[in-house]
Amino acid sequence: MHNHEPPGYACPFCRLIGGGDDAINSQDDIVARNAHATALISPRWWPRNPGHVLVVPNAHLENLYDLTPGFGHAVHDLTREVAIAMRASYNCAGISTRQHNEPAGHQDVWHYHLHVFPRYPGDELYQSAPEPGFVEVERRRPYAERLRGRLAVQSTRATYDEIAQDYRQRTRAPFGRLAAQVTGFLGRIPANAIVADIGCGPGRDTELLRARV
């Protein structure tokens, strides 16, 4: 629907997602990836917004009209993660996103991509033109490293939060059900079992186990 990709188009994003480099994009630019989307430092910068990010679907989908729900959700989930990491690590004052479709909408790469910009007071992003040409990999690398580091922290924190939430849900189980689970577990312990307190429970569990054996 409303496609403008020329015949034989060599997609730079597909090449990058597939593990390749070219004269513009580098594997070093990739800051995050999930099963359906990839985020990378853009090789084209605006003067007062360095290090902005492109988030793309891992499938070759030309524009917003072609974007399927699964890939769309993945792109926007990853965009949120990148925005949070950018806000924390770039010392910026805000975040803007924008996305272009078709030549009249200023699309110039025929693979859907969403821009994530760090914003600063008075940066005049929408009134300025991009820097001429493409930014060298060496200038992009510090921003990629900064974002990868922050995204790793966020991922670790999210994992911890999931574990904590699971623990809270388990400890809220009705007493009768919890007691039945403990009784069932105790019934499966061999008579000659040895129980050691490894310091990972509230202590009462170990006492019950010692009483059983």
Could you tell me which of 183, 155, 143 has the C-alpha nearest to residue 33? 155
> What domain range includes position 198?
174-212
Same domain, 115 and 208: no
Secondary structure of 37-86 in HEC code, one letter for each residue: EEEEECCCCCCCCCCCEEEEECCCCCCCCCCCHHHHHHHHHHHHHHHHHH
The pLDDT value recorded for residue 199 is: 43
Same domain, 131 and 207: no
Domain total in the chain: 2
Same domain, 78 and 182: no
Q: Strand, coil or helix: what is 203?
A: coil
Could you tell me the pTM of the whole model? Answer: 0.75
| Residue type, position 15, single letter | R
Per the domain annotation, does 3 fall within a domain? no
Q: What is the mean pLDDT of the chain?
A: 85
Mean pLDDT throughout 64-86? 97
Does an H or E element contain 24, and which? none
Same domain, 122 and 205: no
CB 147 within 8 Å of CB 92: no
Per the domain annotation, does 6 fall within a domain? no
* CATH for 34: 3.30.428.10
Instruction: For 143-172, write each residue's pLDDT tens digit.
Output: 999 999 999 988 776 665 666 676 667 666
Does an H or E element contain 165, and which? helix 137-171
Same domain, 58 and 84: yes
Could you tell me which of 125, 145, 129 has the C-alpha nearest to residue 137? 145
